[in-house]
Chains A and B, each alone.
Chain A
Amino acid sequence: MREIGIEQLDDIARGAGILGTGGGGDPYIGKLLAREAIRRHGPVTVADIDEVPADATVVPVSAMGAPTVLLEKLPSGAEELTALRALEAVLGRPATHIVPIEIGGVNSMIPIAAAAESGLPLVDGDAMGRAFPEAQMVLPTLIGVSTTPMALADDKGNTLVVDAVSNLWSERIARSACVEMGCQVSCADTVLRGDQLRDGLVPATLTLAEDLGRAVRLARHEHADPVAAARDLLGGTRLLTGKVIDVERRTSGGFARGQASLEGLGADAGRTLRLNFQNEHLLATRDGEVVATTPDLICVLDTETGEPVTTENMRYGLRVTVIAAPCDPRWTTPAGLALAGPRYFGYDCDHVPLTLA
């Protein structure tokens, strides 16, 4: 058992931004929420997966909806607990642990705030190992764990508990409800027993996020290469170092799709890379050849600082390095790819295993 205090939050947020693969919402606002919660209630106790009793009730707590709304209508600080209590009422038993549903982006920080407020320990792991946009895109789906009962709470105190026939239906119903509840809700869902954590979670990802954030910070401080530090920790490969020369965004079929074109600089001069993104970066095509796809992680980092660049902030002229890192191997099984492979997102290509240098 160890603790997360205010001093760890910067590193975790930076690492979570990198693991967000361009999406997941900027962890910045989540960091402020976690910071205020820890300031009021004290540090959060963290448990490794191995330390959680088999009969524990482990509840992922998260934010769902538009980051734009989260940045405007900040939470009261009570929403996560309202969602948690609504879920507990249906479960008929109290939660014993909190866990992040996704380590990428702002949802790495919301559970830290929830753990501080509830006084419950936080499990070091998450259900994705990155960021994904939909509720069913979690490892628990692959082992038959239901995302429901799923409790949603808004800022006004309204709650809704969804009971769905499949995890895909839970996403459809919850997303619609989220819009009606103001486009930003707190969620408690996808309840795991302690003995399901090994199969339902990617282990030690809070630690990974903190290590990643620290490595980038220290590399920068020592005038070393922060991008290389991130790549090494992720066991990934560098796809291109270059400059964004074009960004195109459009809304089609209910999805905001975009693509960015990069041209190589330095050793990569003469090469090009195209990134296709929706909420996250999903596809990387180098010199006409697909070299990385979802569910593997495609991370765009500022070449100089190693800070993550979100899809929303992709703009002309940015100097970035694109790295690709392998996802948890369970995502590249046929069932995993059906949930979160390139075809699910509407791209006409198969998953391409990464060539690791």
Chain B
Amino acid sequence: MSRPRAGLDVGPTNTDAVLVDAAGHVLTAAKVSSVPGDPVASVTAALDALGAPDVAQVAIGLRGAASAIARRSGLCRVAVLRIGGPATRAVRPLFGWPADLLAAVHAGTAIVDGGGGLDPEDRSPLDRDAVARFAGQVAERAEAVAVTGVFAPLDGDQEREAAEIVRAELGPLPVSLSADLGTLGLLERENTTVLDAALSRHARDTVARLSTALPGAAVFVTRGDGTLMSLEHLARHPGLSLGSGPASALRGAGLLTGLTHAVVADVGASRIRVGALADGFPEEAAHGAEIGGVPVAFRMPDLIQVPIGAAPGSPGSPAPAELAELAEAVDRLQPAADRLPLVVVGGGAAAVPDGLSGVGDVRHPPHGRVAGAIGAIGSPVGGQAERIVRLDDRSRDAGALDEILEEARASAVRAGADPRAIEIVETHRAPLAYLPGSFVRVRVRAAGPPAPLAPPPPKGLRNDR
């Protein structure tokens, strides 16, 4: 008999948990009150409530990263290094950040020469001395370093080279690299990298405590794109967990109904989050995503929030006007003329009636109250890669595509996927505007089941890759 697996969703109020068998069928579900400020205690309490001391695998949705940024608490002071000179100097790093977040995070910035181009041959040499000088300047203040190189999502070598120099100067402090975190668009990706670095201590503490609390289980956590990653990967890339709560709920709604395309309403105590599933994964915010008042490039679900329970006389349940607002949000997220079913999940799901005006097909799946926990344990480990390919050279295109697929697979393995069973789940191509048709941006996503054995826990030391 194989050991069961557990999925958990640690929310601000409650922690949901499910125990599933090897085939993914729900054996038990439980809901316990979350221990405020202590996600690990919430996890162990929920596992106890399941009556499952011996699980082979645990997948956990943690939401602490977002609140750490929102409260500006527990954040590391970050040295911000941009590799992009002599270009990019026209807009400085951390431009437009809210003053209180800047004060909590900022430990110095520098723009050093280097960075890539659309064509690999366009690369400018990295000014290694300038990197070392900057490391020396911030040595007293920085608790983490964020490195953002121009075109690093296409070629991350210089970011890794800079990280080595920084570590040689400053010792083993956390270094976040933009290539691991976001897509093209320098300022948003730089912001993303700084927030990732700022979350280093928060993530490291959580990971260390979870590893201790759950010996013998392969532990994974959810990320904002709806996939999973290992604890080791979380320790290296703390920011990837941002947006994971809503993403897990969306994934769970899909798994519970067997739908790969649907609109999902996650009903909480004070708000409904509405998102959409496409090919089983959350539709992501195309642009305009913000965290803590800062534009970012994290892969997170595109959501519309509908506040509820504010109307007098119906505390905690949606008033007619709020339901009308929900119906409009659902309609906005319908991807096309063919109306997709609305799947209603979350603790307050029962308050949304089947006959929601203007929405034809409303589903309330069993176990919908714990959709987040089901989304956690039912999701694969993910990875992605991005390149820009010049199409006028056919042979180069074919070779390049193979490389991108391989890089996406490798990215999933680094996140903790079983290397024997990785699949390419999406290949997206888009031509670049205002160029003569020959440049195509290719983004590939790969996913595979969690590797069965727990990866070794990090020892407070982060390596890149």
A residues near B, CB below 8 A? 23, 25, 29, 32-33, 36-37, 64-69, 71-78, 113, 133, 155-157, 175-176, 179, 182-183, 245-246, 249, 251, 253-256, 263, 279, 311-313, 315-317, 319
Query: Which A residues touch B434, using CB under 8 A?
Result: 23, 25, 64-67, 133, 279
> In the complex, what residues of A have CB within 8 A of residue B84's CB?
73-74
**A68 x B88 contact (CB < 8 A):** no
A73 touches B186 (CB 8 A): yes
Closest Cβ of chain B to A152, distance in Å, is 14
- Tell me which of A72, A176, A311, A312 contacts B150 (CB under 8 A): A72
Spot the interface stretch: B359-367, B436-444, B446-454: B436-444
Cβ of B419 under 8 Å from chain A: no
- The interface residues of chain A lying within 8 Å CB-to-CB of B119 are 182
Q: Mark B91-133, 1 if CB is under 8 A from A, else 0.
A: 1100100000000000000000001011100101000000000
Which residues on B sit within 8 Å (CB–CB) of A251?
391, 431, 437, 440
Q: How many residues of B contact A (CB 8 A)?
A: 43
A66-B186 contact, Cβ under 8 Å, with A36-B90, A315-B286? no
Q: Give chain B nearest CB distance to A202 CB in angstroms.
A: 21
Judged by a CB distance under 8 angstroms, whether B433 is at the interface is: yes
Check B437–A255 contact: CB distance below 8 A: yes
Given A76-B86, A76-B88, A183-B435, A68-B332 contact (CB < 8 Å) = no
Asked if A254 and B438 make an inter-chain contact with CB atoms under 8 angstroms apart, the answer reads: yes
Given A29-B91, A253-B437, 13 other A-B residues pairs in contact with their CB atoms under 8 A: A25-B434, A32-B90, A32-B91, A36-B90, A74-B87, A74-B90, A77-B89, A175-B435, A182-B119, A182-B122, A249-B431, A251-B437, A317-B335
B333 within 8 A of A: yes
The answer to whether B433 touches A256 (Cβ under 8 A) is: yes
**What's the Cα separation between A25 and B90 when bound, in Å?**
18
Pick 15 A–B contacts, CB within 8 A, sort by A. Answer: A33-B91, A36-B90, A36-B92, A72-B150, A73-B88, A74-B187, A75-B88, A155-B86, A156-B86, A156-B87, A156-B124, A249-B430, A251-B431, A312-B433, A317-B333
| Max chain B Cβ within 10 angstroms of own Cβ: one of A133, A155, A279 | A155
Q: Which of B122, B334, B434, B441 has the most CB of A within 10 A?
A: B434
Is A182 touching B118 in the complex (CB atoms < 8 A)? yes
**When the two chains form their complex, are residues A75 and B433 in contact, meaning their CB atoms are under 8 A apart?**
no
B359 to chain A, nearest CB (A): 14
Contact A75 B435 (CB under 8 A): no
Chain B contacts of A254 at CB under 8 A? 436-438
B151 in the interface (beta carbon within 8 A) = yes
Nearest CB in chain B to that of A26: its residue? B287
Nearest-CB residue, chain A, relative to B183: A72
Verify A256–B431 contact, CB threshold 8 A.
yes
Q: 8 Å CB contacts to A: which residues of B280-334?
A: 286-287, 332-334
* CB-defined contacts of B439 to chain A, threshold 8 Å: 66, 183
- Give every chain B residue within 8 A of A319 (Cβ-Cβ): 332
Asked if residues A71 and B186 are in contact (CB atoms below 8 Å), the reply is yes
Contact, CB under 8 Å: B430 / A246: no
B151 to chain A, nearest CB (A): 6
Partner of B433 from the list A37, A67, A253 (CB cut-off 8 Å) is A67
Contact in complex: B85, A76 (CB < 8 Å): yes
Q: Max chain A CB contacts within 10 Å: which of B90, B91, B332, B432? A: B90
Q: How far is the CB of B278 from chain A (nearest CB, A)?
A: 10
* A315 to B283 Cα, complex, angstroms: 12
B432 surroundings in chain A (CB, below 8 A) = 66, 68-69, 183, 256
In the complex, the chain A residue whose C-beta lies closest to that of B188 is A71
A66 touches B287 (CB 8 A): no
Interface contact B336-A316, CB-CB below 8 Å: yes
Among B115, B332, B333, B437, point to the contact of A73 (Cβ < 8 A).
B115
Closest B residue to A254 by CB, please name it. Answer: B437
Q: Which 10 A-B pairs have the closest CB atoms?
A: A254-B437, A155-B87, A77-B90, A256-B431, A74-B88, A316-B335, A245-B337, A66-B432, A251-B431, A76-B89
Q: Which residues of chain A have C-beta atoms less than 8 A from B186's C-beta?
A: 71-74
Does B184 sit at the interface, judged by CB under 8 A? yes
Residues of B with C-beta under 8 A to A156: 86-87, 124
Nearest B residue to A244, CB-CB: B336
Report the minimum CB–CB distance from B178 to chain A (whole Å): 11
Q: Does B185 contact A (CB under 8 A)?
A: yes
Smallest CB separation, B379 vs chain A (Å): 24
Q: How far is the CA of A183 from the CA of B332 in the complex (A)?
A: 36
**Bound Cα distance from A315 to B84, whole angstroms:** 32
Known: A73-B84, A73-B115, A315-B286. A179 touches B436 (CB 8 A): yes
Distance in angstroms from A171 CB to nearest chain B CB is 10
Contact B87 A73 (CB under 8 A): yes
Tell me the minimal C-beta distance from B461 to chain A in angstroms: 31
**B440 to chain A: closest residue by CB:** A251
Complex Cα distance A315/B334, Å? 11
Expressed in whole angstroms, the minimum distance between the Cβ of B368 and any Cβ of chain A is 24
Residues of chain B within 8 A of A75, CB atoms compared: 87-88, 90
A317, B86: Cβ atoms closer than 8 Å: no
Provide the bound-state CA to CA distance between A249 and B124, in Å: 34
Contacts of A33 in B (CB 8 A): 90-91
A316 / chain B contacts, CB cutoff of 8 Å: 334-336
Chain B residue with minimal CB distance to A311? B433
B437–A256 contact, CB under 8 A?
Answer: yes
Q: Which of A36, A76, A311 has the most CB of B within 10 A?
A: A76
Given A183-B439, A316-B336, A317-B335, are A68 and B184 neighbors across the interface (CB < 8 Å)? yes
Given contacts A156-B86, A313-B287, A317-B332, contact A74 B435 (CB under 8 A): no
Contacts of A69 in B (CB 8 A): 118, 432
A182-B119, A245-B337, A313-B286 known; A74-B91 Cβ under 8 A: yes
Closest to B95 in A: A32
Task: Kindly report which residue of chain B lies nearest to residue A280, judged by CB atoms.
Answer: B433
Q: Which of A71, A74, A246, A313 contacts B336 (CB 8 A)?
A: A246
Q: Give Cα distance in the complex from A157 to B86, angstroms.
A: 9
| A32-B91, A315-B286 as given contacts; A66 in contact with B437, CB under 8 Å | no
User: Contacts of B336 on A, CB cut-off 8 Å?
Assistant: 245-246, 316-317
Complex Cα distance A236/B414, Å?
55
Rounded to whole angstroms, the CA-CA distance of A313 and B286 in the bound complex is 8
Residues of A within 8 A of B440 (CB): 251
CA distance A317 to B334 in the complex (A): 6
Contacts of A74 in B (CB 8 A): 84, 87-91, 186-187
Give Cα A179–Cα B86 distance, bound, in whole angstroms. Answer: 19
B 13-43 binary contact with A (CB < 8 Å = 1; else 0): 0000000000000000000000000000000
Residues 60-90 of B, flagged 1 when their CB comes within 8 A of A and 0 if not, give 0000000000000000000000001111111
CA distance A175 to B437 in the complex (A): 11
Please give me the residue from chain A that is nearest to B287 by CB atom.
A313
Of chain B, the residue at the smallest CB distance from A134 is B434
